[in-house]
Amino acid sequence: MKLTSVQELVKAAPPLSSIPLHFLQQTRIALSVPTPSSSAEIPTVDYTLLASPGSGETELQKLHSACKNWGIFQVVNHGMSPEVMEKLRGEIEEFYELPLEEKMKYGGDGEGYGGGRVRANGIRDWGDRLYITTNPVHLRRPNLLPQLPSSLRDNLETYIQTLKTLASGLLGSMEEALEMEANEMAAKMDDGLQSVAIIYYPPCPQPELVLGFTPHSDATCITILSQVNGVGGLQAKTRDGSWVPVNILPNALVVLVGDILEVFSNGLYESAEHRVTVNPDKERISMAFFVNPKFDAEVGPATDIVGPENPAKFKRKGMEQYVKDYFAMKMEGRSNLEHMKIDNDGCRQ
């Protein structure tokens, strides 16, 4: 049997004496980066403050500056009940404890359960994942969400519903901060493409030799992420090129500016490059919720942001074409948007 699950590789007897070659990164990974000074700490936004009329001004500025200067922030008071998150954590742990044959029932190419993805440089990630399209509902695969253990499925639905509301609230605030015409961007995301990735990173005896997730930016509009079992490992690259840990904050969620938001804002907001390091003795579980436009929506700089003062830096494409062009590219740092950039010579403007 072709062993693709990293979890199985780690569980196998006898224990691994060395890391298989195809996981080895070209350079050693710094697992613990120096504790950032407060100016280098990933910002936190209080969603309740942001959403309360009249009192959200400072919070709106915080959100704007986080999206501009970081492309990543933590959000607290987001409306997700800690009980739902705690239950979901238990259910996800149970899912990954299932025998491989059970998990393979959800196996698939791209969507579903799979492990150890190969990256552009031929190196594999140290992690397994369950990837599910959740919206639009007619795109849901019958063998995935509907077949999950019912408690996991029900809590996942509750979780997703809350995140949808949170996402549209955050997008509304971003439009306000960007002085975009109300709803131009949020309307494209309403009932758009959404998916969830539940990722399991097993411990690794030599964690500085591997990466759980290769450096990349998300091709999404925004991503809302939970460090489900309280084990860190997510790192974000600052604009000056250093890696900063996304610290574990109780009950916080992490929001990433994705490439599509970078395009909508004509580059005012920039997607964050991020990666995942793994732990020598602890497993790590994360869950990402990806928020995207509808298939028939157009991806391009917002019409009331571009003008003679601020010429478009990106092309306009239908979402379907954007997705095709994205998949034709290799995952490598922040290179995703190359296919959207307008050449500087102005010929294509």
Three-state secondary structure call for residue 55: coil
Calculate the CA dihedral of residues 239, 120, 210, 75 and round it to 10 degrees. Answer: 40
Residue 234 within binding range of ligand AKG, rule CB under 6 A: yes
Select the binding partner of residue 199 from ligand AKG, Fe ion, none (C-beta < 5 to 8 A, by kind).
ligand AKG
The answer to whether 140 touches 134, Cβ cutoff 8 Å, is: yes
- The answer to whether the beta carbons of residues 282 and 203 sit under 8 Å apart is yes
- Is residue 259 close enough to count as binding Fe ion by CB under 5 A? no
**Residue 218 sits in the site that holds ligand AKG (CB under 6 A):** yes
CB proximity list for 250: less than 8 A, separation 6 or greater: none
Please identify, using beta-carbon distances, which residue of 201 and 269 lies nearer to ligand AKG.
201
286 touches which of ligand AKG, Fe ion, none (CB within 5 to 8 A by kind)?
ligand AKG
Residue closest to 111 by CA, chosen among 153, 159, 144, 157: 144
Report the residue from 45, 198, 288, 299 that binds ligand AKG according to the rule CB under 6 A: 288
In the complex, the smallest distance separating the C-beta of residue 315 from ligand AKG, rounded to whole angstroms, is: 24
* 3-class state of residue 74 by DSSP: strand
C-beta of 66 vs 199, nearer to ligand AKG = 199
Contacts (CB under 5 A) with Fe ion, residues 202-241: 218
Give me the half-sphere count of Cα atoms (radius 13 Å) on the Cβ side of residue 35: 2
Interacting positions 256-275 with ligand AKG (CB under 6 A): 274
Q: How many residues bind ligand AKG (CB under 6 A)?
A: 10
Tokens of 66: 């986080």
From the CB of 251, what's the least distance to ligand AKG, in Å? Answer: 16
The footprint of ligand AKG on residues 178-217 (CB under 6 A) is 197, 199, 213
Q: At closest approach, how far in Å is the CB of 226 from ligand AKG?
A: 9
CB atoms < 10 A from the CB of 248, how many? 14
Restricted to residues 106-145, the positions that interact with ligand AKG (CB under 6 A) are: none
DSSP reduced 3-state for 119: coil
Contact in structure between 59 and 46 (CB atoms under 8 Å): yes
How near is the Cβ of 260 to ligand AKG at its closest, in Å?
A: 14
Strand pairing partners for 65?
A: none
- CB of 162 within 8 A of CB of 84? yes
**Based on CB atoms, which residue is closest to Fe ion, 218 or 259?**
218
The item of Fe ion, ligand AKG, none sharing an interface with residue 113, based on CB under 5 to 8 Å by kind, is none
Task: Give the one entry of ligand AKG, Fe ion, none that residue 225 binds, where binding means its C-beta sits below a cut-off of 5 to 8 angstroms depending on kind.
Answer: ligand AKG
Q: How far is the CB of 288 from ligand AKG (least distance, A)?
A: 4
Sequence letter at residue 294: K
- For the CB of residue 172, give the shortest distance to ligand AKG in the complex, in Å: 24
Long-range Cβ pairs for the range 152-156 (8 Å, 24+)? 152/88, 152/91, 152/92, 152/94, 152/95, 155/84, 155/87, 155/88, 155/91, 156/88, 156/196
Q: What's the length of the chain? A: 349
Candidates 42, 171, 193, 225; binder of ligand AKG (CB under 6 A) is 225
Query: Which residues bind to Fe ion, rule: CB under 5 A?
Result: 218
Query: Which residues bind to ligand AKG, rule: CB under 6 A?
Result: 197, 199, 213, 218, 225, 234, 274, 276, 286, 288
